[in-house]
Structure 1
């Protein structure tokens, strides 16, 4: 759970900013859509940080967040409020980020034949190779 500042925009819609997470921001047309976008944004950020092995900052206490700390000159909004946004990153990742995607690739025939004979799991090998190549940790 991280605190987020929600801003009702003068022109309509909402902006949400997570001051603890490098001012991570998203937006939506309605408050409900904005909350869904905030959950998605938070999940994506935390998931990426975990994959890259980065430490996560401690969340600021809700009552310590200044709803005007993100104010910028010329930015007009009607009102703002601070709310906690919560997400189970592992569950969200399983449903949204870890879905298998089909990839087409080409390898030499002799390599394919040898791998098939040895009952190699192509998907597993490719996943492990990409994780190593990108210097990532295993998925959640």
Structure 2
């Protein structure tokens, strides 16, 4: 039976402020961190990181840790908690269409002829693979 994956994840992040430095962002429950030049940038970086981490955990079949309630986090000076969310349908879609590099070996004459005719190697390989796989 296929378990339905959550549409959204919500995790607390600790934003740390220090004069003249980027805002540090730590997800205590996930043991990952990022940063941003300002609050908007820090929040966007945190959302992107959260989406990537949660996608990785899902793909690897790992246990998804329970988020700590905001009021249970201990903060130091210059820190505040922010509840960060990741909308997973868009994260999963972006990961499934993500391009990857592959190295291919061709005879030199075929490479030269294709280049002479302005052939787009990536597009041609994608079309051929789709035909070969029937997708």
State the TM-score bracket (shorter-chain normalisation).
Answer: 0.5 to 0.7
Query: Within 2, Cα distance between the matches of 1:106 and 1:54?
Result: 37
Are 1:121 and 2:133 an aligned pair? yes
What are the Cα deviations for residues 69-126 of structure 1, in whole angstroms up to 9, with x where unaligned? xxxxxxxxx721001000112322313x22242645359xxxxxxxx7xx5328x7xx
Conserved in 2, the CA contact under 8 Å of 1:20 and 1:60? yes
Which of residues 54, 57, 60 in structure 2 aligns to 1:52?
60
Q: Does 1:99 align with 2:108?
A: no
* Partner of residue 15, structure 2: 6
Measure the CA separation in 2 of the matches of 1:80 and 1:53. Answer: 33
Name stretches of at least 5 consecutive residues in structure 1 with no aligned partner: 69-77, 108-115, 125-140
What SS does the aligned partner of 1:120 have?
Answer: helix
Q: Give TM-score scaled by structure 1 length.
A: 0.64
Q: Does 1:19 align with 2:28?
A: yes
Moved over 6 A (4+): none
1:67 maps to which residue?
75
Give the 3-state SS of the residue equivalent to 2:17 in structure 1.
strand
Distance in 1 of aligned mates of 2:72 and 2:27: 13
Partner SS state of residue 78, structure 2: strand
When normalised by structure 2's length, the TM-score is: 0.66
- How many corresponding residue pairs? 102
C-alpha contact (below 8 Å) 2:55/2:91 kept by paired residues? no
Q: Is the 8 A contact 1:13 1:31 kept in 2?
A: no
What is the match of residue 45 of structure 2? 37
Q: Is 1:88–2:68 an aligned residue pair?
A: no
